[in-house]
Amino acid sequence: MSHQFYFELLKSDEDSHARLGRLQTPRGSVETPVFMPVGTQATVKGMTIDQVHATGAKLILGNTYHLALRPGVERIERLGGLHAFMGWQGPILTDSGGFQIFSLSKCNKVTEEGAVFQSHIDGATLRLTPEESIRIQEGLGSDIAMVLDHVVALPAEREQVLEAMERSTRWAERCLQAAKRTDQAKFAIVQGGLDEVMRRTSAQQLTQFPFDGFAVGGLSVGEPPAEMYRVLDFTTPCLPSSKPRYLMGVGRPIDLLEGIARGIDMFDCVMPTRNGRNALAFTWKGQLRLRNAAHADDTSPIDESCPCLACKHSRAYLRHLFISKEMLGPILLTHHNLTFYQLLMNEARQQIAAGSFMPWLVEQRRILNNGENGTGRP
């Protein structure tokens, strides 16, 4: 357990499991619920660090597997650690490489010892054990390190899910035993697919160890959103209220709000950046597809109240950039989407503080589940 990291629960919503909190890290405090932009390879795609900061982001995510391959943890250590390397002075959470066991399943083989990857870049071998994952993350110098877990695609056979869940628990204990830094928090990851008994068992086993926080992993990997919500309904109550709860790799704006209603404090996802690069904007009125011809002569911004770089321009201009394949289009829309996600989290925090989160969520369900903003179907 890190002595420089703690979570303060400020308020619980009376009508849901939503929570208002504060993470204290060696590099400052972070208000929760919080969304972390994904900076897999020491960069949030298309954004300068100043631009990421301008969105309101306080905490970002890096990736153990990708940074171990390129440029390598030893080089990043020599250059002063991940914060100095990428120029981000706020807290950083590093994923362990467990998601790549799922996403790059054709490039790796899993045993009890760990995962052996054939690099997707040059075919070189990377042996990622729980101990090696922690060694890399400690070398990177992140403020929060995730344990290595075994992620499987859903749906899957029960025996496969059970084996991965039990292995994840053993790996989590090995990660904890391997940890040397006292200034780096360690988060465990609950697994168990869509099975209530397995999820509860995983949570009960992991909470016996002195982790600084707990994540719900292995979701948004093929199951419908309703199934994800159902899993959260019975999983988050098994996690200690005194520790932060992190839903990994999720998701759409409505998914974040549904997660908050079920007691989740932290989120990350590539959705705002990936969709930004593909001309889809998230707004308070739903999704907006800027390649649609309806925007060709539209002089209005995406959102008049949004302070992002994209909203200084018209929808017509933004559409022109994408149609012309100009690199500025993805940059501007990425900035907009990341800004929107931070505004969404800020509004959620305000609603929890005011005791009005659930009525607000009901309205957001109606809006955010309603497809595209007045320009046709998504």
Catalytic center residues: 95, 268
Q: How far apart are CA 337 and CA 327, in angstroms?
A: 16
Please list the alpha-helical segments (H only) found in 207-252. 225-235
- Write the DSSP symbol of residue 37: P
Strands (E), 50-107: 60-63, 92-95
The two structure tokens encoding residue 203: 């949570």
Q: How far apart are CA 77 and CA 85, in angstroms?
A: 9
The pairing of strands 19-25 and 28-32 is antiparallel
Q: How far apart are CA 356 and CA 350, in angstroms?
A: 9
Burial of 241 (0-12, 13-18, 19+ CB in 10 A): middle
What is the 3 state secondary structure string of 156-207?
A: CCHHHHHHHHHHHHHHHHHHHHHCCCCCCEEEEEECCCCCHHHHHHHHHHHC
Q: 51 φ, ψ to 5°?
A: -65, -40
